[in-house]
Amino acid sequence: MNSTLPHLQHSSTTSYLAGISPGSSKSLMSGICRASVQQIPRGFTLVEIAIAVFIIALLLGSILVPLTTQVEQRQVSETQKMLEDIKEALIGHAVAKGYLPCTDKTSGATTGPNDTPNDGVEDINTVTGVCISSAAGNVPWQTLGLGAADPWGNRFRYRVDTNYSRRSPATPFNVISAAGLVVCSTWAGCPGTSSVRLTPISPDGAVAVIISHGRNGLGAISAQTSALNPTPSTFDETGNYSGGPFVSRTHSPVGSTAGEFDDIVTWLGKYTLFNRMVAAGKLP
Ligand SMILES: [Ca+2]
Ligand SMILES: [Ca+2]
């Protein structure tokens, strides 16, 4: 029986359409289809390309997102370790000398080696034995023999209760000295900012507070330029940037109800300091 497409039939033993053999039991249509597949190079359709791109994006996303998260977690852990090292160095300084170091001021004039901003050396009036500034400044990293910057290239902020940084001829602190710094879980409820007062995290007062301004670096002093970074927009980070009340809480991202917060904060409580100084025979 002849094909229903007689114009494609021919008598040659070699078909001009590959895959079609005259007289074959295979259908002509099957041969035509196979010939088309064999003869016409077929590329990828847009749909196939889109699916491939989508799968590649998924794979890259599944690899890169955990990597990014791991890097951030490692930076936070590293910062927490650095803050603990700073706290231990502060205690060591107090044990060795009988007082905590003053801040290294972040701005203002230079009047001498003990009054120079951003050099990592505490700024102290050697005549009176009182710190040049009672405001927050840099951790005096040179005085303590520590690194200058957090993992994001910013300096650690430090505020000390100046009762604990006085030295001769001023009267050094003792076990009845009050500690006036406070760390809260939110700025809005911290003492001094609202009639609604939350219990501070440091209820008996902190003698020193040490802060890394975190990955966003808002309100930090750049270790590279000694310039002030853009300042934070949330109250909780503003307290840490402006010198208190200080806030330590769970981190929250931009756009969250609680507002962005990525500061890493630690503090030295007065009883911790007293305990270590008594153990070292330096108090009472
Ligand atoms: Ca200084
Ligand atoms: Ca921050």
Mind listing the pLDDT tens digit for each residue in 96-111?
Answer: 999 999 999 999 999 9
> Which residues is 221 bridged to in the sheet?
228
On the question of pLDDT at 134 being above 50, the answer is yes
Q: Is residue 33 part of a domain?
A: no
Q: Are 179 and 161 in contact (CB under 8 A)?
A: yes
Position 29 scores a pLDDT of 54
On the question of pLDDT at 79 being above 70, the answer is yes
Contacts of 231 by beta carbon, 8 Å cutoff, 6+ apart: 218, 219, 238, 241
On the question of pLDDT at 270 being above 50, the answer is yes
- Maximum distance among all alpha carbons in the chain? 122
Q: Is residue 55 part of a domain?
A: yes
Q: Is residue 42 part of a domain?
A: no
Q: Are 149 and 257 in contact (CB under 8 A)?
A: no
Length of the chain, in residues: 284
The two structure tokens encoding residue 116: 């120079």
Number of domains making up the chain: 1
On the question of pLDDT at 164 being above 60, the answer is yes
Smallest CA-to-CA distance from 100 within 144, 52, 142, 59 is with: 144
Nearest-5° Cα angle at 86, 217 to 206:
90
Q: Is residue 16 part of a domain?
A: no
Q: Is residue 182 part of a domain?
A: yes
Ligand nearest to the CA of residue 102, numbered in listed order: 1
The whole-angstrom separation of Cα 214 and Cα 154 is 9
| pLDDT band for position 95 (cuts 50, 70, 90) | very high
CA of 260 relative to ligand 2 center, distance in Å: 8
- What tens digit of pLDDT does each residue of 19-49 get? 445 445 555 555 555 555 556 667 889 999 9
The whole-angstrom separation of Cα 203 and Cα 254 is 29
Q: Is residue 261 part of a domain?
A: yes
- What tens digit of pLDDT does each residue of 197-255 get? 567 777 778 999 999 999 999 999 999 999 999 999 999 999 999 988 899 999 999 99
On the question of pLDDT at 126 being above 60, the answer is yes
The two structure tokens encoding residue 275: 């305990």
Ligand nearest to the CA of residue 217, numbered in listed order: 2
Q: Is residue 253 part of a domain?
A: yes
Enclosing H/E stretch for 278 = helix 270-279
Q: Is residue 171 part of a domain?
A: yes
On the question of pLDDT at 188 being above 90, the answer is no
- Does residue 189 or residue 45 have the better pLDDT? 45
| pLDDT band for position 143 (cuts 50, 70, 90) | very high
Enclosing H/E stretch for 137 = strand 137-138
| pLDDT band for position 60 (cuts 50, 70, 90) | confident
Ligand nearest to the CA of residue 248, numbered in listed order: 2
Position 36 scores a pLDDT of 53
- Does residue 14 or residue 72 have the better pLDDT? 72
Position 245 scores a pLDDT of 86
Position 2 scores a pLDDT of 45
Query: Running DSSP on this structure, what letter comes out for residue 163?
Result: G
Q: Which domain holds residue 113?
A: 47-279
CA of 207 relative to ligand 1 center, distance in Å: 20
The whole-angstrom separation of Cα 61 and Cα 58 is 5
Q: Are 103 and 137 in contact (CB under 8 A)?
A: yes
Ligand nearest to the CA of residue 237, numbered in listed order: 2
Position 14 scores a pLDDT of 45
**If you compute the radius of gyration of the chain from its CA atoms, what whole number of angstroms results?**
35
